[in-house]
Chain A
Amino acid sequence: MSDPAGSDAGEGKAGRNLPTLRLHVPEPKFRPGDSVDFSDFDIPAVGATPRPDEAVQPAAIRDMAYGLIRVLDEDGAAVGPWNPNLPPETLLRMLRAMALTRAFDARMFRAQRQGKTSFYMKSTGEEAVSIGAALALARDDMCFPSYRQQGILIARDWPIIDMMNQIYSNKGDRLKGRQLPIMYSAREAGFFSISGNLTTQYPQAVGWAMASAAKGDTRIAATWCGEGSTAEGDFHSACTFASVYRAPVIMNIVNNQWAISSFSGFAGAEATTFAARAVGYGIAGLRVDGNDVLAVYAATRWAADRARSNAGPTLIEHFTYRVEGHSTSDDPSAYRSAEESSLWPLGDPIARLKQHCIGLGIWDEDRHAAMDRELAEMVRDAAREAEKNGILGHGLHHPMESMFEDVFEEMPPHLKEQERQMLDEWKAAGL
């Protein structure tokens, strides 16, 4: 726009006759109703990424933050330097844990729709991220998950009835009905208490790892957040602390392309990768095909070995896709094309491992179908058992007084007074 006054006031002519400034607001490629075309999707070839020594200097592997570690090729064969060469029993254990996670999600989503609980969040399409990592870590390594790593608990054989009790907030809920469904806590499984506040677990995991190092322990920590949550300040503080103290920690970014309705561009994906965040902190950064469970496993093992040998932290971006809605409170058809999930170029993590196992001759379609049936029954039976402890709103909850417990180690006078007041109020109401 020309200057209507045509004057040379202010900075003079040097600042004139330039285009007007424009604010760039990112926009995803496909919106509801759009036909999806991923043909320009750049997928690095399987096996092309070299596997450096675990003690490598971060600066020497900068390129890896822009690449993609992949092991399973289009035919389901495991190829390249990152092939972890897992024994058949481990492969089948992985497959089963992923299938169980999906069956569990399906059942609990339905339970929410049936009004048995208030809320649920599926991890469909992202099962490899948590299960590949969980099986690559030692059981006593502490995980600081976000809300979409239920696969860690399942991979660590945590009883699904216990998880369901939490979801139903019933009398069997170890968290006494205090937490929103899926905000598990399972110290025995190395699964840190989930918080609703995003990315707070990141510096906590770094602190846990620093404590382990300061005490001369051998255990490491791992943490997860979504790509959207990397925009939080805690992400930055965690990376800074991890780098400064060379903390034995693995920081996972699950880039599933979507943060509720916001595509990854709103967390910075148009400009660079999320793994590339590592470069600026001097942290080893890996970028992994998150739908390739063998790649996730191999990258996690690499990062764990690196941490265990005091070579420092690793940031891993798991490139994947959130197949379902953000939560039971979300309808993704309102902001993205319905075709996206089925056309996702990196496929489905369960289907890919299944193909691999069949190719190895250790699995077949019949056995897979039988496993799916068995898991569905197992989940259904567990849900029936859990429902005997009560479902949300049906009265079988922890005693009302339990609300006041655990705010502090010992209940202070003002809480005792409020507890008494509550009981008196209910008594006066004849309840």
Chain B
Amino acid sequence: MSEVVTQEDRADAQQMNMIQAINSALDIMMERDPNVVVMGEDVGYFGGVFRATAGLQQKFGKNRVFDTPITECGIIGVAVGMGAYGLRPVPEIQFADYIYPALDQLVSEAARLRYRSAGEFIAPMTVRSPFGGGIFGGQTHSQSPEGIFTHVSGVKTVIPATPYDAKGLLIAAIEDNDPTIFFEPKRIYNGPFDGHYDTPAVSWAGHPQAQVPTGYYRVPLGQARTVRAGEALTILCYGTMVHVVESTVAAMGVDAEIVDLRTLVPLDIEAIEASVKKTGRCLIVHEATRTSGFGAELSAQVQERCFYHLEAPIERVTGFDTPYPHSLEWAYFPGPVRLREAINKIMKD
């Protein structure tokens, strides 16, 4: 759970929201490695619909930052070819809900290229894509498809929950020689979200994890982060849910250990195992739908490894097994009401 950053870097930190942190990571990696290229719909001149690539084309030129046609299979297919040439592409899929046309290229090609060619060709790409709900995005601007990718051997799946992690993990993903799916929780681009949709939105200002070094640093892939140490139960979560869980736990006054997984594949199973063996209880929280979601894998792993330490059944608070609704978003979203119920239940058992 260490972070490769020196005190000097921390001293150089400044306030950033998650978009600024991502933009900074891209800027730094493009500066450091001439093979890093950024591509996607509206990422060039315009700087991206969420501004994550703002200013990059102006600084690095159109050979390295360019707009693409609206074809997700084309974007990823072309990125595979660029990787085979020796570039290090960072393609953007505008919304994770639109990654499906690229699934064949991701699953059949990027994920398997190293394996099937015995290392002759690799796909060192980082696919950035905004994901998750909580923004009234309806069915096609809210989905959390991480479970589709964690099921694919050969890709890594990374989800940051803070500006600090967003930058450090993105730098690590870009430098990594394996294809990485980098899902950015768009609900927390501009500020942490505690799940109380009826209160005014807050910015990242003042949040300790929004102090982001301006220079280069990495947050290693495959390492979870303990958001809050506790003894009563372990809560496994990632993305927006980290903040919803943190806020709910504080409000309830329960001594929960909150683990932000940060990387789903490869998973920091040691951190999970150590925490659950300590607390004896495990709650898993994600926005994605329940059946065959990543929570099912987490639950199975905890059950296999911590069976004799468990004092209550493992609980899951997730999105329901429905498409993401528009008007009923707050009934669907795993917010404070649903979390509170689950925590009370698991503590009673």
Which residue numbers of A lie inside 8 Å of B, CB to CB?
142, 144, 174-176, 178-179, 183, 185-187, 192-193, 195-197, 200, 202-212, 214-215, 221, 233-234, 236-238, 240-241, 244, 406-409, 412-414
Contact = CB atoms under 8 A, between A and B. Distances in A.
Which are the 4 A-B pairs with shortest beta-carbon distances?
A: A207-B81, A203-B77, A237-B74, A207-B78
Contacts of B113: 193
Interface string B174-205: 00111000000000000000000000000000
A407 B114 contact: yes
A175 B77 contact: no
Contacts of B69: 237, 240-241, 244
B109 interface: yes
A315 to B, nearest CB: 16
Given A209-B81, A237-B71, A412-B222, 15 more contacts: A144-B81, A179-B116, A185-B118, A196-B108, A203-B74, A204-B77, A204-B81, A207-B82, A211-B87, A234-B73, A234-B74, A234-B105, A237-B77, A409-B114, A414-B269
B119 interface: yes
B115 A204 contact: no
B177 A240 contact: no
Nearest to A237: B74
A241 B154 contact: no
Nearest to A213: B63
26 contacts: A185-B120, A187-B117, A187-B120, A197-B104, A200-B77, A202-B77, A203-B73, A204-B84, A205-B81, A211-B85, A211-B87, A214-B64, A214-B87, A215-B85, A234-B77, A234-B104, A237-B69, A237-B74, A240-B71, A406-B114, A406-B115, A408-B266, A409-B114, A409-B178, A412-B265, A413-B266
A407 B269 contact: no
Nearest to B155: A408
SS of B interface (majority)? mixed
B267 interface: yes
A178 B118 contact: yes
A414 B266 contact: yes
Contacts of A221: 81
A211 B113 CA distance: 18
B108 A197 contact: yes
A214 B37 contact: yes
Contacts of B120: 174, 185-187, 193
A50 B177 CA distance: 48
Contacts of B323: none
A386 to B, nearest CB: 17
B60 to A, nearest CB: 11
B215 interface: no
Nearest to B111: A407
B79 interface: yes
Contacts of B86: 211
B121 interface: yes
A244 to B, nearest CB: 6
B30 interface: no
B208 interface: no
A51 to B, nearest CB: 30
B303 to A, nearest CB: 16
Interface residues of B, number: 48
A176 B86 CA distance: 23
B82, B108, B156: which has the most chain A beta carbons within 10 Å?
B82
A244 B116 CA distance: 31
B109 A207 contact: no
Given A178-B118, A193-B117, A237 B81 contact: no
A174 B118 contact: yes
A408 B114 contact: yes
B153 interface: yes
Interface string B112-143: 11111111111000000000000000000000
A407 B85 contact: no
Contacts of A183: 116
B37 A192 contact: no
Nearest to A206: B78
B77 A192 contact: no
Contacts of A413: 222, 266, 269-270
Contacts of A408: 114, 154, 156, 178, 266
A7 B339 CA distance: 61
A210 B78 contact: yes
Contacts of B80: 200, 203-204, 207
B222 to A, nearest CB: 7
Contacts of B105: 200, 203, 234
A178 B154 CA distance: 14
A208 B81 CA distance: 4
A137 B104 CA distance: 29
B96 to A, nearest CB: 19
A238 B269 contact: no
A207 B119 contact: no
Nearest to B105: A200
A409 B108 contact: no
A237 to B, nearest CB: 3
A240 B81 CA distance: 15
A176 B265 CA distance: 25
A175, A193, A206: which has the most chain B beta carbons within 10 Å?
A193
B117 A412 contact: no
Interface string B41-74: 0000000000000000000000110001101011
B101 A233 contact: yes
A47 to B, nearest CB: 37
Nearest to A409: B177
B109 A206 contact: no
A175 B112 CA distance: 12
B224 to A, nearest CB: 13
A245 B132 CA distance: 33
B84 A238 contact: no
A14 to B, nearest CB: 38
B153 A407 contact: yes
A197 B109 contact: yes
B300 to A, nearest CB: 12
Contacts of B117: 175, 185, 187, 193
A413 B271 CA distance: 13
Contacts of B270: 413
B269 A210 contact: no
Contacts of B78: 203-204, 206-207, 210, 241
A193 B116 contact: yes
Contacts of A409: 114, 122, 176-178
